[in-house]
Amino acid sequence: MMPDQRLWAPWRMRYVQGERKDEGCIFCLAGESGDDETRLVLHRGRRCLVMLNAFPYNSGHLMVSPHRHIASIEDLDDDELLELMTLTRSALRAVRQTYAPDCFNLGVNEGEIAGAGFAGHVHLHVVPRWAADSNFMAVTADTRVLPQSLGDSFAQLREQFAEVP
């Protein structure tokens, strides 16, 4: 970037300052809500749900979480753990079908220091990656450029989850 050029992303100020529209856990609120599009919920299982990350690292960045507000995988019952992993597999397939990534990063967030903005509710991130997704913006400007809006991501991925039982 030239020194006199600016890249403005004013919608990110809410995130940077830690402000949230909702009071409470985003995963619990998503589980309780009937408005899947507003909450970015792509699929609801009996024990877990899949949702888009509202502040993604890449387009198609999903999160899988149990319905129960629980802090650790260690405390999930066997049925919750199985569904968490089964929906993670479905998420991988949906993102692979929609975006054709080169690979994925999968990560479980447990606890605030681990990067969990909602430390009391364990969740698993599914982040698609491409060979060319690290470009000069991330390296020199600490900025991510996402090629697709959340609305478009939601619409495309929602179609893929229509097939998931």
The stretch 33-44 carries a mean pLDDT of 92
The stretch 97-124 carries a mean pLDDT of 85
Q: H or E stretch including 81?
A: helix 78-99
Helix (H, G, I), strand (E, B) or coil at 48: strand
Spatial distance between the Cα atoms of 46 and 15, rounded to a whole number of angstroms: 30
pLDDT tens string 115-137 = 656 778 999 999 999 887 665 55
Max alpha carbon distance in the chain (Å)?
Answer: 56
Which range is least confidently modeled, 18-32, 50-64, 65-79? 18-32
Partners of 103 in the β-ladder: 129
Average model confidence (pLDDT) for the chain?
84
Spatial distance between the Cα atoms of 142 and 140, rounded to a whole number of angstroms: 6
Number of H helices, E strands in the chain: 6, 5
Residues serving a catalytic function are 123
**CA angle (107, 108, 113) in 5-degree steps:** 105
